[in-house]
Amino acid sequence: MRRRRERHRGVRRGEQPLCERRYLYRPPADLTIVLNPDTVIDTSAGANSGVSGFAIGTQSLTLNGAPASKITTAANGAFGVVLGTESGKILATTGIIRTSGASAAGITASSGAGDITVNGGTTTTTGANASGIVAVSDSGVIRVGSGIVNTSGINAVGVAVQSGVGNVRLTVDSITTTGSGAGGAVVASGGAGDAAIRGGTISTSGANATAATTATALGTASANLTSVTTTGAGSEGIRATSTGGAAVATVGTLLTNGVNARGIVVTGVQGAIVNYGTITTIGDGATGITIPASVSLLGIIASSTATVTGTGRISTTGTKADAINVNATGAVIVSTTGTVATTGDKSRGIVARGGAAVSITAAGVTTLGTGSTAVGAVSTGGSVGVTLSGVNSAKLADGVAIAAATTANLTLVAGSSLNGGDNGATISSGTGTTVNNAGTLGGSVYALAVTGGAANVTNSGTINGALALTDNADTVVNSGSFNANVASSYGAGNDQFTNSGVYNANTGADFGAGADTFTNSGTFRVLANSAMAGTITLAGLETYNNSGLVDLRNGHTGDILSIPGAYNGSGGATLALDVKLVGVGSTGDQLRIGGAATGSTLVALNALNTTPAVLASS
């Protein structure tokens, strides 16, 4: 039987059958999707996404959605818009998007190496782990405008933007999230890319829900927002972190409500900066501004410098809730022109700690709780300077506490006040302390207590209380009012006190060891407001130089000023005494001098008796 070779009809020798041929579909160079104002896409009946678009190679992808266009999905994982490219650009503009379902996103745009731009309209998601807008690129630059975003659900995120190495920026119109663990805005970049959030309003409601998070590896992490509000335990307002660059947080108005709900937390290895208008936190552990001493994030990192600038009020309500607590390995600067206030125990007003110079300028810091110092400043390797205006007080603690490796400086400007339930100010320095008071300084224990390097105190305002100074050669220059209501202790050393103002000696003083001198060219009053006779002793004083007025007149006799050392009168030196001259039994005030009395002094007598004295003859 002969066998016959047959061929497929219409197929020539050497050709493949039509059923075996392969065709490669090549899409246009770029892909554009248009949603008109009357476009309505609704996949609620199934688990499908509303719009999906993908481009290969370097081809770009564009979605032009009219503001009135509508996309609705209602299933777990059903996205409103999904766009992706390999290395091409993505440009997406959307209208109204609503998703309802777990892990569903309103808009998702991703690229391997392409740049991404998203301009959101009104995006609403409901469901656990759902997101309003997500934009991710391995290496591209990302720009997102949020539009209006509302999310509701556990761990839901309003807007998330991330690039492996590129710059990323989120411009916020309005973002609102509801649910525990939710995030308002999360922006991150690796490598040297910058991560920035800027614009309008972010609000979160739920435990552990941070309103704005920005993070970079080597670039600058920044947030600049008009208004931030969080409600829930552990919910932070703004967190900015750069493990190798700078971190900056700026806010107009910020409010947090909840235990450990901190307002702003910033860490930048190349510097941390905070600028604020008004900050309010409510809850135990809810610190207003925190620049941590260190953070464990791929190793231990810390801010090299810290700078805080405030123009409005910052207040906290709750225990262990400092208003401002900043730390750096280098210099620290805190400057506020608004008031700072805390009400809880262990809730300090301003705390600044640095490895180099530390500077604080404040315009009214008040605390009400126990252990709540109004202003605390520490430099482990440099100087400390604190300048205060306005009303400053710590009801149950020291008003100011300073510790400086080198020099310390405290300045109270004219019209200001500083008062402490314990001490007005305690200062420790390595090489010397300077205090300039043009306001009012006081404390229940000491108005001023200084240790370490020699103290130089200049008072042109008012000091209420006592001074406790060092064992070095301290100097005090008073041209204002010094109300010595508690005994001062000047320590050892050759101390110098110069008074050209008014010194009200309502109690004595201890000048300690050394060759100490008190020079008076003003008024030295003894027990001016006392209804009973008493003795004022300037213990340990070697020399009293007087060219002014020493006044013991107070309407009764029997007062004594005791100077254990020498007395020298010169110029217009005057000693004013109360006397009652009635012959035998006459009484009067006394100046007792333990050393030599030299020079000349005019004695002015204030006769208290109304009848003429009768001088008895022997």
pLDDT reported for residue 46: 79
Integer Rg of the chain from CA? 38
Token readout for 132 is 């309003």
pLDDT reported for residue 21: 36
State the DSSP string of 324-389: EEEEESS-EEEEESS-EEE-STT--SEEEEESS-EEEEES-EEEEEET--SEEEEESSS-EEEEE-
Query: Hunting for tokens 């464990």 — which residue is that?
Result: 296
Token readout for 238 is 């703004």
Report CA-CA distances (Å) from 317 to 29, 209, 371, 553.
60, 20, 15, 50
Task: Output helix, strand, coil percentages for the chain, rounded to the nearest 5.
Answer: 0, 55, 45
226, 202 contact by CB (below 8 A) = no
Distance, CA of 53 to CA of 71 (rounded, Å): 15
pLDDT reported for residue 582: 77
pLDDT reported for residue 585: 76
Distance, CA of 464 to CA of 458 (rounded, Å): 14
482, 504 contact by CB (below 8 A) = yes
Nearest to 589 by CA among 600, 599, 576: 576
pLDDT reported for residue 612: 59
Q: What average pLDDT does the segment 454-469 reach? A: 98
Token readout for 441 is 């300084």
Using the predicted structure, report yes or no on whether residue 7 has a pLDDT greater than 50. Answer: no
Using the predicted structure, report yes or no on whether residue 44 has a pLDDT greater than 90. Answer: no
pLDDT reported for residue 298: 67
Q: How confident is the model at residue 45 (pLDDT cuts 50, 70, 90)?
A: confident
CA 119 to chain centre: 34
State the DSSP string of 55-124: E-TT--EEEEE-TT-EEEE-STT--SEEEEESSS-EEEE--EEEEESTT-EEEEEEESS--EEEE--EEE
Distance, CA of 302 to CA of 329 (rounded, Å): 7
Distance, CA of 77 to CA of 464 (rounded, Å): 70
Distance, CA of 248 to CA of 198 (rounded, Å): 11
State the DSSP string of 138-199: SS--EEEE--EEEEESTT-EEEEEEESSS-EEEEEEEEEEESTT-EEEEEEE-TT--EEEEE
Distance, CA of 536 to CA of 544 (rounded, Å): 14
435, 456 contact by CB (below 8 A) = yes
pLDDT tens digit sequence for 230-281: 999 999 999 999 999 999 999 999 999 999 999 999 999 999 999 999 999 9
pLDDT tens digit sequence for 176-229: 999 999 999 999 999 899 999 999 999 999 999 999 999 999 999 999 999 999
CA 200 to chain centre: 22
Q: How confident is the model at residue 14 (pLDDT cuts 50, 70, 90)?
A: very low
Query: Hunting for tokens 């004595």 — which residue is that?
Result: 508
Hey, CA dihedral for 393, 274, 136, 95, is it positive or negative?
A: positive
pLDDT reported for residue 611: 63
Q: What average pLDDT does the segment 459-475 reach? A: 98
Q: How confident is the model at residue 349 (pLDDT cuts 50, 70, 90)?
A: very high
Using the predicted structure, report yes or no on whether residue 19 has a pLDDT greater than 60. Answer: no
Distance, CA of 149 to CA of 157 (rounded, Å): 10
Cβ atoms within 10 Å, residue 12: 7
Q: How confident is the model at residue 28 (pLDDT cuts 50, 70, 90)?
A: low
Task: Say whether 542 sits in a helix, a strand or coil.
Answer: coil
pLDDT tens digit sequence for 513-571: 999 999 999 999 999 999 999 999 999 999 999 999 999 999 999 999 999 999 999 99
Using the predicted structure, report yes or no on whether residue 16 has a pLDDT greater than 90. Answer: no
249, 222 contact by CB (below 8 A) = yes
Hey, CA dihedral for 606, 609, 614, 618, is it positive or negative?
A: negative
Task: Say whether 19 sits in a helix, a strand or coil.
Answer: helix
pLDDT tens digit sequence for 100-113: 999 999 999 999 99
Distance, CA of 519 to CA of 569 (rounded, Å): 10
Using the predicted structure, report yes or no on whether residue 392 has a pLDDT greater than 60. Answer: yes
**Among 164-173, 236-245, 316-325, 584-593, whose mean pLDDT is lowest?**
584-593
Distance, CA of 558 to CA of 489 (rounded, Å): 26
Using the predicted structure, report yes or no on whether residue 487 has a pLDDT greater than 50. Answer: yes
Report CA-CA distances (Å) from 102 to 128, 160, 430, 452.
5, 16, 61, 63
pLDDT tens digit sequence for 148-163: 999 999 999 999 999 9
pLDDT reported for residue 5: 38
Mean pLDDT of the chain: 93
> Residue type for 15, please?
E
Distance, CA of 211 to CA of 82 (rounded, Å): 25
Which DSSP state fits 447? S
